[in-house]
Structure 1
């Protein structure tokens, strides 16, 4: 039986990582858990985020995954090491891959970071960036209104544009040439964010680099899927499944059209 890559998030945001994993590693089976009943994680106390992440991991472990990916920046910032200490399989976060991608991209040495309150408050991105490139100037901004927009499927409305413009209006005063989307929900808003920031600012999503890291770890441990069988992906959400399924199907598109998918709404505690 093919072991899966388990990917978890506070809601639909981690689907940005799922899409990249499906693109780069099409033979891999994915089990995804979106905690849509308790999203967003950003404003919550760290201890709540750690507790929620533990609950989800405890649920996912029953499927015997070969790796866990915490595709939530807030959970990565506060719960990554805790989860690593509790399981005996690789656990990957999204912050260090995103930081590495930004370091590769920047020419000015000024990097912007937007994320949830929890992620920005933790300083995790600034620490990860300066750990590799101490000379970087990092400009951070919490954008708590973005996740609710994405969870409602409001990606390109006039209201969304106004919310994004209000949140980012003074970031353009800095001479940054790249902006890290420090929440996996934010790539859903790429078009709007890019329109507000302008073409001279490259938007950095951690999804591509995270998928590369997953591939490297599985290759080094000789755990890449080798079966010719089409993987059967499983998607779980803790809240109302209708919007979650619609967003997932729209976002993943052709990546799941020709593959069998199981949709479930579990109960966790």
Structure 2
């Protein structure tokens, strides 16, 4: 069936983590053309400085804007913390991050008003969640951040496939055990973390918040204010673009999404990109 009207959405992350957001967006806005940029050639963002992350994000934002997307979704907590204010000022289209939606979801489910968030070291250094929390949360609530250096690289490099659940569980257990027992709600403050949410739930038995769904809802609100594109004879699709190893990205993405990926590109932002066919990588 041909789709006559759709939105064009740009999504980016440091690698495969943003697929957790993409998956939720596809449920809510199925009639969409999506450009997904996974900057795995520069991953992990969690080990970089705020200035370095901001520079990477602005280059990706410029690329997505030049490709005429209606909205940009920063599907990465670290990138959101480092660049969302700058990107909102630079681009005349909506720019949506994942931090505020996650906090609002946690405020709705916490019962004892003690909220925790696990996130990358860079996000923790920037107090990514605390800065937003202090603005929008009631003064009666508290939020504690815990930087986790190993979880994101583990997922991005496929360690959980290579070494099995034992190593994954041990790494996650290491961090969860450092979280105060008073915390009743835990925000997954990196979009990679929902990929191992089942492992996290083994050690944190209370409320777990995945900001991806709330981010998709925030996107829907913004799209309602935008005139959709009239793209006759066009089917909804996702174009995947990565800055690094496309095969490693495909392996992780197909496992998580449960579908074959055969339209992926490798892109150096200073050069033209070329299509890589699935059977050739």
Work out whether the TM-score is over 0.5. Answer: yes
Unaligned runs of 5+ in 2: 271-281
Equivalent residue number for residue 174 of structure 2: 166
Equivalent residue number for residue 120 of structure 1: 124
CA-atom RMSD in angstroms: 2.0
8 Å Cα contact 2:7-2:31 kept in structure 1: no
Q: Which runs of 4+ in 1 moved over 6 A?
A: 224-228
- Tell me how far 1:61 sits from its aligned partner: 2.1
- Tell me how far 1:220 sits from its aligned partner: 2.6
Equivalent residue number for residue 28 of structure 1: 32
Secondary structure of the corresponding residue to residue 49 of structure 1: helix
TM-score with structure 2 setting the length: 0.87
More strand by share: 2
Unaligned runs of 5+ in 1: none
Query: How do residues 1-269 of structure 1 correspond to structure 2 at under 5 angstroms?
Result: 3-132=7-136, 133-155=138-160, 157-171=165-179, 173-198=180-205, 201-223=206-228, 229-253=234-258, 262-269=263-270
Greater Cα offset, 35-44 or 242-251: 242-251
Distance 1:217 1:223 in 2: 11
Greater Cα offset, 54-63 or 235-244: 54-63
- Tell me how far 1:166 sits from its aligned partner: 1.1
Distance 1:43 1:77 in 2: 14
Secondary structure of the corresponding residue to residue 50 of structure 1: helix
- Tell me how far 1:265 sits from its aligned partner: 0.6
8 Å Cα contact 1:28-1:225 kept in structure 2: no
- Tell me how far 1:120 sits from its aligned partner: 1.3
Distance 1:205 1:229 in 2: 32
- Tell me how far 1:251 sits from its aligned partner: 1.4
Secondary structure of the corresponding residue to residue 37 of structure 1: helix
Aligned residues: 262
Q: Which digits, 9 at most, give the CA deviation of each residue in 1:172-196, with x for residues without a partner?
A: x431111000000111110111101
Distance 1:187 1:25 in 2: 20
Greater Cα offset, 51-60 or 100-109: 51-60
TM-score with structure 1 setting the length: 0.91
**Cα distance change, pair 13–225 in 1 and its aligned pair in 2 (3 A):** farther
Distance 2:227 2:141 in 1: 36
8 Å Cα contact 1:29-1:231 kept in structure 2: yes
Q: Which digits, 9 at most, give the CA deviation of each residue in 1:160-218, with x for residues without a partner?
A: 111111122121x43111100000011111011110112xx111111000000000110
